[in-house]
Every structure is written in structure tokens, then in C-alpha cells.
Amino acid sequence: MPGLGLRFVVGEELDREIRWVHSTDLPDPSAYLSGGELILTGGLWHEGPDSAERFVSALAGADVHALGFGLAAPDAEVPADVVAACRATGLPLVEVPHELPFIAVARAFVDGVEQARQADMRRSLATHEALSSAATGSGGMSEVVRALRSMLTRDLWVLTGPTRAWSSGEQPRHAELASVWEQAARAAAYPAQVRRAEGAAVTVFATAQEPAPSFLVYLEPVGSLSRAERATLEQSIRYVGVELSRHRRLAAETGQRAREFLELVEADLLPADEVDARLGRVPTRPQAPLQTVVLGYEAAPSGAVDALVDVVLQVLGAHGRHGLVVPGTEEAVVFSWPGVEGPAPGREPDRRLPEQLQVVTEQQLRRPVWAGAVTADSDLKLTVTRARRAASYARRRQHGRGVAHYEDLGSHHVLFAVDDSLTATFQDLLLGRVRAYDQRRGSHLVRTLDVFLEANGRHKPAAVALSIHVNSLRYRLRTIERLTGRSLASAADRVDLYLALRMAAGPQVTGTL
């Protein structure tokens, strides 16, 4: 306040908030102080060589934020030992002119507090009106984020999981979101300061913990927040939480409708034109095949599954595709198709999409995810069944994670997507005695059988591949027939043995983590 004529003697500015102004000349007023004060004194306690050090130390110990020393005459100066004591303790020291009464300083403080209170009320009212208007609009959380950003100086995110955020600026990368979300979820109290991938500090406020954690992230360190910024952010938490609840409720309702649609499809109760309408397909226009992905996982909480819909749609959008997501506690079914705008799309499936959906789903749900993908022109029920078979195969062949494309699986591989106990029983029935024989004798009958069947039952090519004489091959094959009770001259027996071998090996599955 320039009109008061106060001047700093120690410290060039005051970076601490003044909570009250009090005048005293007691040698030790600490018992009557609560911290944060500007203490005004005329120096009546200033007697003896150590009095300044004792007085200033008492103020510093009571968390006083500044000392104002009133000059006794127009040409007087603050005593040198008081200046030295303030400098030694880091206590800001202000020179109060002789002609300025202490009560004028106190009155200015009270007036300033009242002005700040009124400014806070005006800002709070403006924040309330802006966020209320945004929350009742049709823009959803994006509109709330834009309204909040207009009242602040930096960008912000609303983070609902390790892969999903509404951002007022450039959309952050998944890896960066995951890092900030991990740190935010571990914080003991809020607001908390965490660091982005490049090291910049940001401030995190918790907006909800149930049914899933969510955070408001302001791209500024905690210590750099102005009083107005912090007040605006703290006030906005309630509005963000309400909008998140509304968004989750709408997502749950959308998910329920999607599940009902899938149930009708699987029960053959929807005509083809209704299916096309729901999937945004136009029968009179050449269509790219529908791509269906089944994402499987261990039971996940409903809140995380509802949030998964946003994540999946975001990935689809990045690929220029529309989609319908059917969320569930143990699987999510994703139908995707190109938009109707622009030229007719190509007919080649986007093979990167299933792999990316598997990765982001695993990040969002924080558990292993396996996926099956299939591309088909029609028969949605059959498409879903095939995608589930491929997902089941991916799970059993890749230890609970990975992606299998149905088109890559041979017809016999589809049979492997059944219960492990059944496949194990079948393998043991056909190959159990042959494997035991190899273990006892150190022989290679299982490999011999595999090479022979891959050579389409031709003896000479199989013998060459095994680097043995044809007669040795014939002897091994007779031993295999004796152990299995099957005839290698029988097409049916060859098929059974081939299936048993392939069940044990399995094809390569893509997209593993």
C-alpha cells in the first residue's frame, strides 16, 4: 500500500500472508501470539546489548511473519542490532515512518481484508455461475474443463484413470497419464504435488475415490499457486465431481443398452436392418467388413468398466472409426466400423487396432487382458462367437494376455479354445504313452511323428528332414502305431494325432506384453 510509506529494511518483499496486525512493546510477547502476525513496536523493550536478539528470536519462534519498527523521530533509523537480529533469523523488517500511527496500519489491514473478502465473494460467485452453466449444458465434462480453464492461467486435466483424461489443452500421452495417475493415487493428502514424465511439477486435487479414483490436475506446482487459483480449484472440485457422477451414470445407462442390444443379437431377435441402424451402417453403400474385438479380463469393478468405454472410443477415434462398446465385468465386446462420410473404405482390417485396444484396456483395468479379433461382413452373432473363441485361445496360449486374430487360426486351432482339462485329456490319450517312451529311452518318437505328418505322410521327405534312413523311419512309425493303437495309414487316425500335436504346440499369437 504505497500511501502508508512503509519501507523494507530486511527483505525486499513479503512472500508470507499477514493474518493480523498487532502492536506491542513487551520484551517477549510470544505467549499472546498465534502466528502469521505483523508486529508493530516502538522499541520500549530495547534496553541492553542482547534485548534485540531476545525480542526478535521470540517473534520468530512464535511464527510472526514480519516486524514493523516505528521511528521515534523524523530523522531516526531502525537500531542496527534490530536489523542484524532480523537478518540473522530471516524475519522481514519494515520501517514505520514517525508520522504514521500504528492504528493507521491496522486500519489499512482491516480494510484490505474486507476488500479481499469481497473479491473472494465475487470470484466465488463468478466461479459458481460459470461452472453451474457448464455443468447444465450439453458439452459435459469438456465444457466444464473449458469453463474452469477460462478462470485460470494454466491448463488442467480431469483424470479418471491411467489412460483417460479430459484436457483443456493438448491431449497428454497415455504413458504420461499413467505416471501422473499412479503418483496421485499414492498421495497421502491433497492437494499433492507430483511430477510429469519430463519432470515438471503439477498439483493434484482428489475429486472422488468411489467407485473409482479421479483427480483434478493443474499444470502448476503447489507452491506457485496464487491464493485466487487455489480457491478457484478447490471450489471447482464439487462441480467436477458432480459432472463425473453424471457422466458415469450416463455411461452405465449406455452400457446397459449396449448389453441389451448384444443379448437380442445373440438370441436372433433383431432383424438385419435394425442391426445395421444400430451400427451406423448404410445397406446401399459399399461397406468395409465390421471388425469385432472381444477383450477378456478377470472380474473388474463396474466403475472401472464404465470408464473403459471412454478409453476404447478414444482409441477408435484415433483410427478414424466409429464404434459400439458392450462393457461387462469380465469381458468387453467392441464393434467398430468406418464412418459413412468420405469415399468407400477399404476392405482390409486394421490389424493394429486390436493390439492397441488390448494395451489400453490392460492399463485402464490394471490387470492382464487377452483379446480375440475377427473381421466379417455379416452375421453378428457368429462374429462375436468367433471373436470369443480367438480371445479364449489367446488366453490359454499366452498365459492370460495377448491378441489372437481369428483369421490367422486354422480350423483345428479354434477347437483348442476349449477347457484346458479337455485338451490335456485328449493329448494324453493320444500321445501319453509315446511321450513316456521318449522319456525312458531318450528317443524322438514325438518329433518323428510331427515331421512325418507335416510331410503329408511321405516317407522319404520325412526321413531326409530327420536325417535318418527310411527303414529307421518305418521302424519308428511302427513303434508309434503300437504305442498309440492308431494306424498311420488311416486318415482319421492321422487327423487325431495331428490335432494332439498342435494342441501341445499352438501357433504364434501376436500382441503379447
What SS3 string covers 290-338? EEEEEEEECCCCHHHHHHHHHHHHHHHHHCCEEEEEECCCCEEEEEEEE
293 and 181 in a common domain: no
What SS3 string covers 141-192? HHHHHHHHHCCCCCCEEEEEECCEEEECCCCCCHHHHHHHHHHHHHCCCCCE
Strand partners, 40: 23, 68
- Beta strand 66-70 with 93-96 is parallel
> Minimal CA–CA distance to 456: which of 501, 494, 411?
494
Cis preceding linkage at 345, omega within 30: no
For residue 513, pLDDT beyond 70: no
Helices 380-397 & 227-266 angle (0-180, nearest 10): 110
405 and 321 in a common domain: yes
482 and 432 in a common domain: yes
For residue 342, pLDDT beyond 50: no
- Sequential DSSP letters for 216-279: EEESS-GGG--HHHHHHHHHHHHHHHHHHHHHHHHHHHHHHHHHHHHHHHHTT-S-HHHHHHHT
Q: Are 391 and 509 in contact (CB under 8 A)?
A: no
Question: What is the Cα–Cα distance from 194 to 190, expressed in whole angstroms?
Answer: 11
Q: What is the mean pLDDT of residues 40-47?
A: 93
What is the band of 6 on the pLDDT scale with cuts at 50, 70, 90? very high
Looking at 55, 73, 100, the residue that finishes a domain is 100
Q: What angle do CA 257, 262, 263 make, to 5 degrees?
A: 95
pLDDT for the residue numbered 510? 39
Helix (H, G, I), strand (E, B) or coil at 203: strand
Residue count of the chain: 513
For residues 423 and 364, the model is more confident at: 364
162 and 68 in a common domain: no
406 and 424 in a common domain: no
Share of the chain above pLDDT 70, in %: 88
Neighbours of 227 (CB within 10 A): 11
303 and 397 in a common domain: yes
Helix (H, G, I), strand (E, B) or coil at 496: helix
| CATH code for the domain of 51 | 3.40.1390.20
Helix (H, G, I), strand (E, B) or coil at 6: coil
Question: What is the Cα–Cα distance from 274 to 187, expressed in whole angstroms?
Answer: 49
371 and 449 in a common domain: no
399 and 274 in a common domain: yes
Question: What is the Cα–Cα distance from 477 to 487, expressed in whole angstroms?
Answer: 9
Residue 262 forms part of a structural domain: no
Question: What is the Cα–Cα distance from 66 to 510, expressed in whole angstroms?
Answer: 67
Share of the chain above pLDDT 90, in %: 40
Question: What is the Cα–Cα distance from 261 to 284, expressed in whole angstroms?
Answer: 23
Residue 350 forms part of a structural domain: yes
Residue 149 forms part of a structural domain: yes
142 and 238 in a common domain: yes
Neighbours of 275 (CB within 10 A): 19
What is the band of 250 on the pLDDT scale with cuts at 50, 70, 90? confident
Residue 301 forms part of a structural domain: yes
Structurally, how many domains does the chain consist of? 4
pLDDT for the residue numbered 204? 95
| CATH code for the domain of 288 | 3.30.70.270
For residue 172, pLDDT beyond 60: yes
Residue 121 forms part of a structural domain: no
Q: Are 294 and 392 in contact (CB under 8 A)?
A: no
Question: What is the Cα–Cα distance from 496 to 486, expressed in whole angstroms?
Answer: 9
Q: Are 507 and 408 in contact (CB under 8 A)?
A: yes
Residue 261 forms part of a structural domain: no
Residue 456 forms part of a structural domain: yes
* Interval 481-509: pLDDT, tens: 999 888 999 888 888 888 888 776 544 43
What is the band of 288 on the pLDDT scale with cuts at 50, 70, 90? low
Q: For residue 141, how many C-alpha atoms fall within 13 Å in the half-sphere facing its CB?
A: 25
401 and 326 in a common domain: yes
Domain that residue 197 falls in: 136-245
Cα 113 to Cα 24, 38, 51, 234, 253: the distances in Å are 21, 14, 33, 20, 49
What is the band of 451 on the pLDDT scale with cuts at 50, 70, 90? very high
Question: What is the Cα–Cα distance from 337 to 292, expressed in whole angstroms?
Answer: 9
As given in the structure block, the three cell numbers for residue 340 are 459413412
| CATH code for the domain of 451 | 1.10.10.2840
40 and 161 in a common domain: no
Looking at 76, 100, 124, the residue that finishes a domain is 100
Residue 265 forms part of a structural domain: no
Most confident listed range (162-166, 180-184, 401-405): 180-184
Q: For the chain, what is the mean pLDDT?
A: 84
Question: What is the Cα–Cα distance from 22 to 24, expressed in whole angstroms?
Answer: 7
Looking at 48, 76, 100, the residue that finishes a domain is 100
pLDDT for the residue numbered 377? 66
288 and 396 in a common domain: yes
Q: What is the mean pLDDT of residues 3-25?
A: 87
